[in-house]
């Protein structure tokens, strides 16, 4: 058996990490957080020129035709570097939705431009507070047009198009809308983690291309697939926060000794490690299920998602704690991880949602336990 | 990424599984009806009779394995093993775990004493002692902990004095699992009370039937009496049974403890599967407990831990399969599984509600709830394991200590003010 990433995948991971280090992604996060820009265009362009937006797109559509395992290692590094770019929206979600559901015509039109970074996409699903259910979707599709609102859509004020969930007489489906359409009003939001932009969108009779009209199961599948990728982003961030806590503790002296020699700190960091290892191992299983289109995907994705969310929360909050007063300052980076941890925990549905998905997926499957 | 065996691994797995199917069925069918009622080692034996039945069965099966070359797979053939690779050992364990095989008696010998003997005993001693250990003919115990030395093992006070070629041992050990049915033991003693704590220790193996050894059972909170006090009064050990140099026993003990941590696996008892079934079978406020969102949330957390441990093990096996040394991930296993066991058992009792008070039918939960505290202490407490993760895995500094570079007899003990 082989339950590790291949040497090539690890080499790719290293390259991405080097790039993000060189570009000083942490500093860029802060610049976006504090400034008016909605994302870091230079960093995005560097990722694009490395080919990272083309990873899962087949060569016939202008991509490089690698698999989801490569995307997992990239996600982990983007999470470690809390990169201020719309990668998850465009690559995990919009690209996957088109790959899974769109006609060849739409693929030909959109995939090459997504691969080359010429356009950015996003995925608009939630409409109000609470996780969207099939019966709660109010956005409406009829005769080629969509009307309705979508709430806190990641990168909606950056992206060129959105894949929107909407109901019609055939069920809830997925539709592609041009976000530059004057019939769509986009309102940027003040958010918990301003290093990643979010906006409400109000759609009034905008023309839409149909990907799939009766597509609730497809929507669930896209969420499961992206959950694995979000989880990798989360463990990347968690590990960075844990290491930050450890490094700070080693160098900070109080009571005549390094605070890293106090058990209250050692055990805290050991607990971060435990939580992170459990999450990492679950993420690897998620990666396997994702890349093999395994029937275990719903359970594997939810397991990875729940444990990675928990790990990032624990590591980022205890990282602040370990820094004492310094952790409370805007100047130290601790809060950047704390903010990102909460944002990622909310994107694509929070803990309660994924715990529920986890248990219902186990009830539905004949999983060997 | 894949979960497939390599062709050689698949061949080995088939060989193992075929042998197990054939021989374990035969073994089961030949069991006497009196033996069939013997308890598995997971539950404490309530009577000495139960225990000796279970021991007899375990020995019988171990001998069958040994005779066919399926005991202590990774040991050299010369010492009763199979010269198997680490991954073959894992495959065997996976296949064997599909059967409810009797066991629970050989871990200390094969997992701890064996490897130490392999490193420190003479060739002649290895040839004499390792094969019976592999065969399950001789049972070994670990005489380390004392009333004043558990986590802080180097604080032991059992005294060893050399006269000519013979050592004389006086003192007391405690919590010695299986001492009452063991044939041999590994023993750490203090041979020098003036040297600093870690420098004055000497390590031996000895015959548990030696004159001067007195074993008194200790009843555990779960009703079993698997551990003991062991008293030594002028017990003689030939110097040839010393393992490692005089005064260098700490090094030998550390080797043993490292193997102990590898030997201690998951805590056995109720797990996700059991609590999930229980929640389906029992009602809470007029609907199956599993429909209750508070219950579902807990189930999800435990599934994540269960799955996280399982997949951590897979990563370890994967490293072995590639011929790599596994990373430190395994150090989290006991902490996570023992605490999960305790919490699941406790929540199982909540689901059962007042009916759970009755032991009849609920022994699984009672047993796990009373067994988990023992697992959290034995073989390295939760706190000590967290220290190990922080220091050895994450490279954080050791605790500040008051017992270093001081003669042993000047270290505070809490017993007297010296
Ligand atoms: C919002 C805010 C307002 C404040 N206002 C004031 C004020 O008005 N006036 C003022 O004088 N100060 C003020 N402080 C400072 C505050 O008292 C200190 O931040 C606090 O005492 C911690 O000290 P430290 O920041 O140096 O962290 P450190 O002492 O360096 O602690 C870092 C980490 O190590 C841990 N640690 C330290 N020593 C030990 C130990 N022996 N055992 C175990 N763990 C240990 C800590 O718990 C913490 O997790 C304020 C702080 C904050 C956050
Ligand atoms: C079921 C069972 C079977 C056993 N079998 C054997 C056996 O076969 N052979 C054998 O030799 N021993 C055996 N033991 C003994 C076992 O190894 C010890 O109980 C264990 O190492 C703890 O030592 P202690 O009991 O002296 O507790 P202590 O070391 O006194 O610990 C008491 C508490 O203090 C904490 N503590 C101690 N030191 C520290 C520290 N530095 N930092 C933070 N917290 C600390 C501990 O975590 C614990 O919570 C067995 C124990 C049990 C429960």
What's the pLDDT tens digit per position in B126-147? 999 999 999 999 999 999 999 9
pLDDT at A291 over 80: yes
User: Residues 6 or more apart from B49 whose CB is under 8 A from it?
Assistant: none
Q: Which residues line ligand 2 (CB under 6 A)?
A: A 263; B 141-142, 144-145, 150-152, 175-177, 227, 374, 377-379, 381, 383-384, 399
Q: Which atom of ligand 1 is nearest to the CA of A252?
A: 30
Closest CA to B264 of B317, B326, B336: B336
Q: Which atom of ligand 1 is nearest to the CA of A255?
A: 41
Examine the domain organization and report whether B278 and B169 are in the same domain: no
- CATH T-level assignment (fold) for domain A7-116: Butyryl-Coa Dehydrogenase, subunit A; domain 1 (1.10.540)
Residue with tokens 């599993």: B290
Task: Domain count for chain B, please give it.
Answer: 3
* pLDDT in the model for residue B97: 87
Q: Report the C-alpha gap between A200 and A186 in whole angstroms.
A: 6
CB-hemisphere CA count at 13 Å for B180?
16
When CB atoms are compared, the residue of A1, A352, A363 closest to B318 is A1
Q: Report the C-alpha gap between A144 and A86 in whole angstroms.
A: 28
Q: Which of A256, A263, A325 to mutate to test the pocket of ligand 1 (most atoms within 8 A of CB)?
A: A325
* pLDDT in the model for residue B42: 46
Examine the domain organization and report whether B287 and B204 are in the same domain: no
Examine the domain organization and report whether B282 and B183 are in the same domain: no
> What is the overall mean pLDDT for chain B?
90
Give percent of chain B above pLDDT 70.
Answer: 92
Q: How would you write chain A as a 3-class SS string?
A: CECCCCHHHHHHHHHHHHHHHHCCHHHHHHHHHHCCCCCCHHHHHHHHHCCCCCCCCCHHHCCCCCCHHHHHHHHHHHHHCCCCCCHHHHHHHHHHHHHHHCCHHHHHHHHHHHHHCCCCEEEECCCCCCCCCHHHCCCEEECCEEEEEEEEEECCCCCCEEEEEEEECCEEEEEEEECCCCCEEEEECCCCCCCCCEEEEEEEEEEEEEEECCCHHHHHHHHHHHHHHHHHHHHHHHHHHHHHHHHHHHHCEECCEEHHHCHHHHHHHHHHHHHHHHHHHHHHHHHHHHHCCCCCHHHHHHHHHHHHHHHHHHHHHHHHHHCHHHHCCCCCCHHHHHHHHHHHHHCCCCHHHHHHHHHHHHHHCCCCC
In a domain, B36, yes or no: yes
* pLDDT in the model for residue B44: 61
Q: Report the C-alpha gap between A209 and A201 in whole angstroms.
A: 17
Q: A262: Cβ below 6 Å to ligand 1?
A: yes
Does the beta carbon of B303 lie under 8 angstroms from any beta carbon of chain A? Answer: yes
Q: Report the C-alpha gap between A229 and A234 in whole angstroms.
A: 9
CATH label of the domain that carries residue B181:
2.40.110.10
- CATH superfamily ID and name for A218-365: Butyryl-CoA Dehydrogenase, subunit A, domain 3 (1.20.140.10)
pLDDT at B417 over 60: no
CB contact under 8 A, A277 and B319: no
* pLDDT in the model for residue A258: 96
Mean pLDDT of A140-164: 97
- The top-level CATH class assigned to A121-214 is mainly beta
CATH label of the domain that carries residue B319:
1.20.140.10
Q: What is the pTM of this model?
A: 0.95
Examine the domain organization and report whether B258 and B273 are in the same domain: no
Q: A252: Cβ below 6 Å to ligand 1?
A: yes
Q: Which of B109, B112, B150 to mutate to test the pocket of ligand 2 (most atoms within 8 A of CB)?
A: B150
Mean pLDDT of A111-120: 98
- Compute, in angstroms, the gap from residue B205 CA to the centroid of ligand 2: 22
Point out the domain boundary residue: B78, B105, B132: B105
Point out the domain boundary residue: B80, B105, B130: B105
In a domain, B198, yes or no: yes
Mean pLDDT of B83-88: 89
Examine the domain organization and report whether B315 and B360 are in the same domain: yes
| Chain B: closest CA distance from residue A227 (Å) | 15
State which residues form the domain around B327: 265-377
Examine the domain organization and report whether B272 and B206 are in the same domain: no
Examine the domain organization and report whether B163 and B88 are in the same domain: no
pLDDT at B316 over 90: no
Pick from A198-212, B296-310, B320-334: least confident? B320-334
Delimit the domains of chain A by residue range: 7-116, 121-214, 218-365
- Compute, in angstroms, the gap from residue B257 CA to the centroid of ligand 2: 13
Q: Which of B175, B376, B402 to mutate to test the pocket of ligand 2 (most atoms within 8 A of CB)?
A: B175
């Amino acid at each position: 058996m082989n339950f590790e990433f291949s040497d090539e995948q690890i080499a790719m991971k290293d390259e991405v990490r080097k790039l993000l280090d060189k570009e000083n992604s942490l500093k860029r996060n802060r610049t976006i957080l504090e400034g008016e820009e909605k994302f870091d265009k230079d960093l995005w362009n560097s990722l694009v020129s490395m080919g990272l937006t083309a990873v899962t797109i087949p060569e016939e559509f202008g991509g490089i035709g690698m698999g989801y395992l490569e995307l997992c290692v990239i996600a982990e590094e983007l999470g470690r570097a809390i990169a201020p770019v719309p990668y998850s929206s465009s690559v995990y979600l919009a690209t996957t939705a088109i790959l899974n559901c769109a006609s060849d015509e739409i693929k030909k039109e959109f995939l090459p431009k997504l691969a080359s970074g010429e356009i950015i996409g996003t995925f608009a699903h939630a409409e109000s507070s609470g996780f969207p259910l099939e019966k709660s979707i109010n956005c409406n599709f009829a005769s080629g047009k969509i009307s309705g609102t979508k709430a806190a859509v990641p990168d909606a004020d950056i992206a060129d198009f959105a894949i929107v969930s909407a109901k019609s007489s055939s069920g809830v489906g997925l539709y592609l809308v041009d976000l530059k359409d004057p019939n769509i009003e986009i309102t940027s939001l003040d958010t918990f983690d301003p290093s990643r932009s979010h906006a409400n969108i109000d759609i009034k009779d905008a023309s839409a291309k149909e990907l799939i009209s009766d597509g609730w199961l497809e929507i669930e599948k896209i969420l499961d697939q992206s959950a694995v990728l979000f989880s990798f982003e989360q463990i990347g961030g968690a590990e960075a926060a844990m290491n930050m806590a450890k490094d700070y503790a080693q160098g900070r002296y109080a009571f005549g000794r390094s605070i890293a020699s106090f058990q209250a700190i050692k055990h805290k960091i050991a607990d971060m490690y435990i939580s992170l290892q459990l999450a990492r191992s679950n993420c690897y299983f998620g990666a396997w299920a994702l890349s093999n289109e395994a029937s275990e995907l719903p359970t594997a994705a939810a397991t990875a998602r729940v444990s990675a969310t928990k790990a990032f929360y624990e590591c980022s909050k205890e990282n602040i704690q370990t820094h004492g007063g310094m952790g409370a300052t805007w100047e130290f980076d601790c809060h950047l991880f704390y903010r990102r941890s909460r944002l990622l925990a909310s994107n694509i549905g929070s803990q309660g949602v994924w715990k529920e998905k986890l248990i219902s997926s186990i009830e539905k499957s004949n999983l060997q336990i | 990424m894949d979960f497939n065996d390599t062709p050689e691994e698949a061949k080995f797995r088939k060989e193992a599984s075929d042998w197990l199917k054939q021989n374990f069925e035969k073994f089961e069918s030949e069991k006497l009806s009196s033996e069939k009622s013997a308890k598995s080692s997971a539950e404490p034996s309530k009577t000495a009779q139960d225990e000796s039945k279970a021991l007899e069965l375990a020995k019988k099966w171990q001998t069958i394995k040994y005779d066919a070359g399926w005991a202590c797979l990774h040991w050299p053939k010369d010492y009763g093993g199979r010269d198997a690779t680490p991954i073959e050992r894992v495959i065997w364990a996976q296949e064997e775990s599909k059967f409810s095989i009797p066991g629970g008696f050989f871990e200390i010998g094969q997992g701890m004493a064996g490897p130490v003997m392999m490193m420190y005993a003479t060739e002649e001693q290895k040839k004499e002692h390792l094969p019976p250990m592999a065969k399950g003919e001789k049972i070994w115990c670990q005489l380390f902990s004392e009333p004043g030395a558990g986590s802080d093992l180097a604080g032991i006070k059992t005294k060893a004095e050399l006269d000519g070629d013979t050592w004389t041992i006086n003192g007391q050990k405690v919590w010695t699992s299986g001492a009452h049915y063991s044939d041999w033991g590994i023993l750490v003693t203090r041979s020098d009370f003036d040297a600093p704590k870690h420098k004055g220790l000497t390590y031996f193996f000895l015959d548990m039937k030696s004159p001067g050894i007195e074993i008194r059972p200790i009843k555990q909170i779960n009703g079993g009496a698997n551990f003991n006090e062991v008293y030594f009064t002028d017990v003689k050990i030939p110097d040839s049974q010393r393992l490692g140099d005089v005064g260098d026993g700490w090094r030998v003990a550390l080797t043993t403890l490292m193997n102990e941590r590898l030997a201690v696996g998951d805590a056995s008892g109720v797990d996700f599967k059991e609590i999930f079934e229980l929640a389906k079978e029992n009602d809470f406020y007029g609907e199956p407990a599993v429909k209750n969102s508070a219950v579902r949330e807990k189930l999800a957390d435990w599934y994540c831990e269960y799955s996280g441990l399982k997949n951590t093990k897979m990563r370890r096996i994967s490293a072995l399969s590639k011929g790599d040394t596994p990373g430190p991930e395994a150090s989290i296993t006991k902490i996570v599984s023992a605490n999960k066991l305790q919490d699941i058992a406790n929540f199982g009792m909540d689901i059962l509600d007042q009916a759970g008070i009755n032991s009849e039918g609920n022994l699984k939960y009672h047993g796990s709830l009373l067994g988990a505290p023992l697992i959290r202490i034995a073989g390295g407490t939760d706190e000590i394991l967290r220290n190990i993760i922080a220091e050895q895995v994450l490279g954080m500094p050791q605790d500040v200590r008051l017992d270093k570079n001081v003669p042993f007899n000047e270290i505070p003990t809490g017993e007297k003010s010296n």
